[in-house]
Amino acid sequence: MPTPLVRLIPMSQAHYPAYCAYFIEDYAQDLANNHGHDLATARRKAEASLQYSLPQGVDTAGHCLLCILPAGETEGAGPATAAEVLPLGYLWHAIDPDASATFIYDFYVAPAHRSQGIGKAAMAVLEAALRANGISQIKLRVAYDNPRALALYQEAGFAITGYNMAKRLD
């Protein structure tokens, strides 16, 4: 199957609430599954983390919130038209210009669009844009219980550089 072409556009205010809803639930599940929190506590922690990291939402300085859209759809159209398109997924990263690196905080492809090469295509678009801007490294974290993401990143050339570990002291 040929890799579908996608484009990354800055997230609009219109897309941000849907992103927040997805992110909070997804991160809460991660916190519950991997850090021993009950789901209600995990949701509160996820909401607090998002507010802390993105206090001005899409306008938070130093953070790039992007929507993954099919290439060609609304190409050349105004922002209002692009805002009406349901994203295939989202990508949130923050560039550290001093290190010529970026850190991916979140990379999500909606379930209906998985296993179609969307993630691989989005990563290729991101890499090209970063190279054009003098960024030479991408860093990220993968949850141990997400083998699909780990496989995508390894296929894209990422190397494991360490392990996150935790121990509960009850």
Provide the pLDDT for residue 150: 87
- Measure the CA–CA gap between 146 and 136, rounded to whole angstroms: 26
Is the CB of residue 125 less than 8 Å from the CB of residue 6? yes
Confidence of residue 11 (pLDDT cuts 50, 70, 90): very high
Query: Which residue segment(s) compose the domain that 103 sits in?
Result: 6-155
Buried b (16+ CB within 10 A) or exposed e, 54-90: beebbeeeebbbbbbbbeeebeeeeeeebbeeebbbb
Q: Per the domain annotation, does 1 fall within a domain?
A: no
Provide the pLDDT for residue 81: 57
Domain count, the chain: 1
For residues 157-164, average pLDDT: 86
Indicate the length of the chain as a whole number: 170
For residues 60-80, average pLDDT: 77
Q: Per the domain annotation, does 170 fall within a domain?
A: no
Q: Per the domain annotation, does 44 fall within a domain?
A: yes
Predicted model pTM: 0.86
- The two structure tokens encoding residue 60: 């938070």
Q: Per the domain annotation, does 98 fall within a domain?
A: yes
Q: Per the domain annotation, does 72 fall within a domain?
A: yes
Provide the pLDDT for residue 163: 82
Is the CB of residue 79 less than 8 Å from the CB of residue 14? no
- The two structure tokens encoding residue 104: 């991916």
- The two structure tokens encoding residue 87: 């994203």
pLDDT at 69 over 80: yes
- The two structure tokens encoding residue 102: 């970026």
Q: Domain of 144: which CATH number?
A: 3.40.630.30
pLDDT at 80 over 50: no
Q: Per the domain annotation, does 11 fall within a domain?
A: yes
Q: Per the domain annotation, does 163 fall within a domain?
A: no
Q: Per the domain annotation, does 165 fall within a domain?
A: no
How many Cβ atoms from other residues are within 10 Å of residue 17's Cβ? 10
